[in-house]
Chain A
Amino acid sequence: MGLVLELALGHLGQRKRQTLVSVAGVALGVGFFIGMMALMGGFQKYFITQVIDSWPHIIIKDEFREPALQPVFRVYPQGAVQLVSLKPRDELKGIRNAREILAALEDSPYASAPTLRTQVFYRYGSREVAATLVGIDPKREMQVTQLARDINQGSLDALYSTANGVILGEGLAKKLGVGLGDMLSVTSPVGAVLKMKVVGIFNTGVTALDNFESYSLIKKAQVLAARANVINQVRLRIPDVSVARQVAQELENRFGYKAESWEESYSNVLGLFKVQNGVMYSAVGAILVVAAFGIFNIISTVINEKRRDIAILKSIGLSEGDIKGVFMIQGLILGLVGTLLGWALGYGLTEMLASIRFNMEGFVRTQGFILDRGLKPYGVAALFAMLSATFAAWLPARKAARLNPVDIIRGAA
Chain B
Amino acid sequence: MPVLQTRGLTRILRDGPQPVPLVQDIDLQVEAGEFVAITGPSGSGKSSLLYLLGLLDTPTAGELWIDGQDAARLSATELARLRLTRLGFVFQFHFLLPEFTLLQNVMIPMQKLGRLETQEMRERAAALLVELGLETGHDKRPDQLSGGQRQRVAIARALANDPLILLADEPTGNLDSRNGQIVFDIFRRLAARGQTVITVTHDPHLAAQTSRQIHLVDGRISG
Interface residues of chain A, those whose CB is within 8 Å of chain B, are: 2-3, 6-7, 10-11, 13-14, 308-309, 311-322, 405-406, 409-410, 412-413
Contacts and interface: CB of A to CB of B under 8 A. Distances in A.
Contact of A412 (B84, B85, B91, B99): B91
A317 B80 CA distance: 4
Interface in B89-115: 89, 91-93, 95, 97-100, 104, 108-109, 111-113
Contacts of A309: 95, 97
B108 A315 contact: no
A319 B76 contact: yes
A311 B87 CA distance: 15
B204 to A, nearest CB: 20
Given A10-B97, A13-B99, A322-B112, A406 B56 contact: yes
Nearest to A412: B93
B147 interface: no
B76 A320 contact: yes
Interface centre among B51, B76, B81, B112 (most CB of A within 10 A): B112
B93 A413 contact: yes
A360 B169 CA distance: 78
B57 interface: yes
Interface residues of B, number: 33
13 contacts: A7-B97, A10-B97, A309-B95, A317-B82, A317-B113, A318-B84, A405-B56, A406-B57, A409-B93, A410-B47, A412-B95, A413-B91, A413-B173
Contact of B51 (A3, A316, A319, A406): A406
A317 B111 contact: no
A413 B42 CA distance: 13
A318 B95 contact: no
B83 A317 contact: yes
Given A3-B112, A315-B56, A319-B80, A308 B95 contact: yes
Contacts of B170: 413
A316 B112 CA distance: 9
B51 A313 contact: no
A318 B112 contact: yes
Interface string B18-62: 000000000000000000000000000001000100101100000
Counting from the closest, the 10 A-B pairs by CB-CB distance are A317-B84, A312-B95, A3-B111, A10-B99, A317-B83, A412-B93, A413-B92, A319-B80, A317-B80, A315-B89
Interface in B104-143: 104, 108-109, 111-113
Contacts of B169: 409, 413
A236 B60 CA distance: 81
Contacts of A409: 51, 56, 91, 93, 95, 169
B93 A318 contact: no
A309 B91 CA distance: 13
Contacts of A311: 95
B100 A10 contact: yes
A9 B77 CA distance: 24
Nearest to A311: B95
Nearest to A312: B95
Given A3-B111, A406-B56, A409-B56, A316 B91 contact: no
